[in-house]
Structure 1
Amino acid sequence: MDKITMSGMQFYGYHGVFAEENKLGARYVVDVELHLPLDRPGRTDSIEDTVNYAEVHELIKRIVEGKTFRLIEALAEHIASEVLRTYTSINALTVRVVKPHPPVAIHFDGVTVEIHRKRA
């Protein structure tokens, strides 16, 4: 299956288990891989025959910056379900949510949740 990959989208959100995370917020990085046929837009060169990734970005931004989730797993799941619901031409997708600086006493580059969902 063909795919459109959107990498390194950065947003500021208020997600986490601790009250301080919900109050102060943090930066989150989101990657999505959208699996859909791209042969038609490849032939027609028309935006109407594909998924407008600027619109997908706006949808993801509204979710990450507009809602609060305790777990980044729930954030990733909500992104996946809303993208699939909104764009029926997408057959499957992978969503990665990175929390670069979780409030834990561990030194690492962050924590990433990756999920893959298919249209039922």
Structure 2
Amino acid sequence: MSKIFLEDVKIYAYHGVLPEENIIGTYYILNLEIHTDLWKAAESDDLNDTISYADINDIILEEMKVKSKLLEHVAGRIISKINQNFPEVSYIKLKITKTAPPMQGEMKGASIELEKSFNPNN
């Protein structure tokens, strides 16, 4: 099993059901796990034999710019876009945390996590 991780990606964005969330915005923390075969890259030392985590980060940044009411929707779009661009991926797990949800009480954040398996190269 080979995995790529992007950990604690911090992005300012404007998601939420409440109108003020779409105006004020807040920071989101994203954690991503991707399963794919990395052994060819391990032998070749060639970027063309792997998935560039910079390309994955670009997808995350672009999709986080699109305002959504639900974090589930944002996560679903990110997962779908990664799958479209990288059919060799067999599994994606994405956790998105809203660091300042508009709720009473002190908390580190409110999170959702989506996981999806794919049949690679099909």
Q: Which TM-score bucket, shorter chain as reference?
A: over 0.9
Does residue 21 of the first structure (1) align with residue 21 of the second (2)? yes
For 1:79 and 1:106, how far apart are their aligned partners in 2?
30
Q: Secondary structure at the residue paired with 2:43?
A: helix
Q: In the TM superposition, what is the alpha-carbon distance from 1:106 to its structure 2 partner?
A: 2.4
For 1:83 and 1:7, how far apart are their aligned partners in 2?
16
Matches within 5 A, 1:32-111: 32-65=32-65, 67-111=66-110
Q: In the TM superposition, what is the alpha-carbon distance from 1:79 to its structure 2 partner?
A: 0.9
Amino acid paired to 1:22:
N
Where structure 2 has 5 or more consecutive residues not aligned to the other structure, the ranges are none
Q: Secondary structure at the residue paired with 2:93?
A: strand
Q: In the TM superposition, what is the alpha-carbon distance from 1:70 to its structure 2 partner?
A: 0.4
- Give CA deviations for 1:5-33 in whole Å, capped at 9, x if unaligned: 11011111110000000111111111110
- Give CA deviations for 1:12-61 in whole Å, capped at 9, x if unaligned: 11100000001111111111101001111101111000001111101110
**Residue in 1 that maps onto 2:8:** 8
For 2:100 and 2:25, how far apart are their aligned partners in 1?
11
Q: Secondary structure at the residue paired with 2:27?
A: strand
For 1:14 and 1:108, how far apart are their aligned partners in 2?
19
Q: In the TM superposition, what is the alpha-carbon distance from 1:64 to its structure 2 partner?
A: 0.4
- Give CA deviations for 1:63-104 in whole Å, capped at 9, x if unaligned: 102x01101111111111111111111111100101011011
Amino acid paired to 1:30:
L
Where structure 1 has 5 or more consecutive residues not aligned to the other structure, the ranges are none
Amino acid paired to 2:77:
H
Identity %, equivalent residues: 27
Q: Secondary structure at the residue paired with 1:19?
A: coil
TM-score, structure 1 normalization: 0.95
List 4+ stretches of structure 1 deviating above 4 A. Answer: none
Q: Secondary structure at the residue paired with 2:20?
A: helix
For 1:78 and 1:113, how far apart are their aligned partners in 2?
14
